[in-house]
Amino acid sequence: MSALLLCCLITPAKSLAQSAYNFEATKQLEIFNAAYNSLHLNYVDSLDAKKRIGEALNYMLGQIDPYTEYYAKENTEDLKVLSTGKYAGIGSPIVYRRDFDCAVFSNPYHDMPAYRYGVRSGDRIIAVDGKTVSGEHPADTQDYLSDITDRLRGEPGTTVSVALQRPVTPTAESPDTVQNLTINIVREQIRRPNVIVEKMLDETVGYTYLVGYTEGAADELKTHIQSLKSQGMKSLILDLRGNGGGLLDEAVKMVGLFVKRGSEVVTMRGRGDETKETLYTQASPLDRSMPIVVLTDYGTASAAEITSGALQDLDRAVIVGNRTYGKGLVQHSCSLPYGGAMKYTVAKYYIPSGRCIQALDYAHRGDDGQPLHLPDSLCKTFHTAAGRLVRDGGGITPDLIVKQDTMPSLIAYLQYSTQLFDWGVAYQNSHSSIAPTESFRLSSDEMADFKAFLESHGFKYDNQSRQNLNNLRQWAHAEGYDADSSELFDQLEKVLTHNLDHDFARWEDALRETAESEIIANFYGDAGETLYNLKNDPVVKEALAVLHDPDRYANILKKQ
């Protein structure tokens, strides 16, 4: 084990300090080996070496940063999927439902085998190739799901047989009537597209939604842009919201679609000067003058931040939306003995202005053990190519920030509830088809059914007013005012107790959009859901306004 870790953690001694480091690393590994060997020989129960040492390794890596990870031999395929986006299987996520004590298919990818062979969201997995996988009450749900995933994956062209239970009763009174099915699915090479939506929003503005940075992402984007140009596109909205990034090279190629060849995109700096590397665009650009707006939010990270940040630093695009996540770290992977692998952080990256957008300092932590966030007061100022001021220390700040609409806690609770998922499943299983995305709308009776379903299935939520009242009670008690105000608090609590009838009427539009979006995702997939949500998207509306006002667009990109 000493050799296993030392091969990745230390380099040959070049100085006394390095020699001391090598000695300390070897010393601590020997202590670990001795401690584990003693436990192995003398502990009252036998130990699972693979499980316990794997846990120790993962704990150590987790304390370094969340992006440094160990992959045992049986999990190295997951590492390949991260970079390539490809694997052999049936093409559907699964989740564990404790109330059913089984894995459930969740939004099978459209145009993938599971969906084409008839699997639907909400189908409960009872057995795979004759082996029962339900009713196991797993202590570790992640291991449980990984085991089922491994069974569903396999060589392309082979068949997997999946026994399912499908909930078929949409009424509130009979929530768990099921149909037993067995579906035989031929596995394929699965590769999810990086661009899932291409659309002309009006006569001149094209829109693309980029969700990943796996192999070929830049070429995909180029193809979609060329398609939009053939439809009359004169300006582009590139949506990077929720894009967690991926391959660095794809980000460089993507920026290269819009700037002159040889432009600097990103510089990586590791522990020593010899680790510094700057990446430049290599190919001739697709279009250097077309107006571009890039949409970002807190879910925009890593390679997506390189794209948006470089285009901002080079004054090539206007960034609209909200501040990005702030991941300015670069990962590489190495092979480990016995088929394992490790993904680990090797450098920080710096975009053309010279700023690093890393938000959290994992090397230095606060008293609570959590990584530190660089305060705004300590952020440094940099300049874009045109001389505009930009800052480091925590993601990309858009040129135009669009404040998110305030939503009640009801909507947040609903979006993450099992009840919304189950109602969407029930609706799909009782309708053979629905209207196209652009025209689909739930009737008043269907919205009433939705409300009844939530009530009968025990949907609960806390409102912010009630939470703040509870906090006020605690402060009043601490300060000695509770005796005088108790009756007032009780009266106010009755007023603020959530009432589904009241809240359904108050937030009808938001509830309708949430319910319709869930159904559209089941029938038309991620692309359909994205198209549905575009129509009332305030960030897209702001982007359109900028692109339809050439003077405003130009002024944003000028030094103020």
What is the full DSSP assignment across 262-284? T-EEEEEE-SSGGG-EEEE--S-
Residue 495, token pair as written in the block: 């007023």
Provide mean pLDDT across the span 444-465: 85
Q: Which of 222, 253, 327, 451 is catalytic?
A: 327
Q: What is the separation of C-alpha 216 from the centre of its chain, rounded to a whole number of angstroms?
A: 20
Residue 312, token pair as written in the block: 């901002």
pLDDT at 496: 54
The answer to whether residue 9 scores a pLDDT higher than 50 is no
pLDDT digits (tens, 9 = 90+) for 283-333: 999 999 999 999 999 999 999 999 999 999 999 999 999 999 999 999 988
pLDDT digits (tens, 9 = 90+) for 522-559: 999 999 999 999 989 999 999 999 999 999 999 999 98
pLDDT at 479: 65
Q: Which of 313, 392, 422, 449 is catalytic?
A: 313
pLDDT at 171: 52
pTM for this prediction: 0.86
92/420 Cα distance (integer angstroms): 19
128/147 Cα distance (integer angstroms): 11
Q: Is 392 a catalytic residue?
A: no
pLDDT at 278: 96
What is the percentage of the chain residues whose pLDDT exceeds 70? 89
pLDDT digits (tens, 9 = 90+) for 27-42: 999 999 999 999 999 9
Q: Which of 261, 210, 211 is nearest to 236 (CA)?
A: 210
pLDDT at 487: 67
Confidence class of residue 175 from pLDDT cuts 50, 70 and 90? Answer: low
Strands 318-321, 400-401: pairing kind: parallel
Q: Which of 121, 302, 308, 353 is catalytic?
A: 302
Provide mean pLDDT across the span 354-380: 84
291/303 Cα distance (integer angstroms): 21
245/232 Cα distance (integer angstroms): 29
pLDDT at 493: 58
Strands 341-350, 264-269: pairing kind: antiparallel
The amino acid at 366: G
Q: Is 302 a catalytic residue?
A: yes
Beta-carbon count within 10 A of 179 CB: 12
Residue 525, token pair as written in the block: 């997939």
**479 contacts: CB under 8 Å, gap ≥ 6:** none
Confidence class of residue 404 from pLDDT cuts 50, 70 and 90? Answer: confident
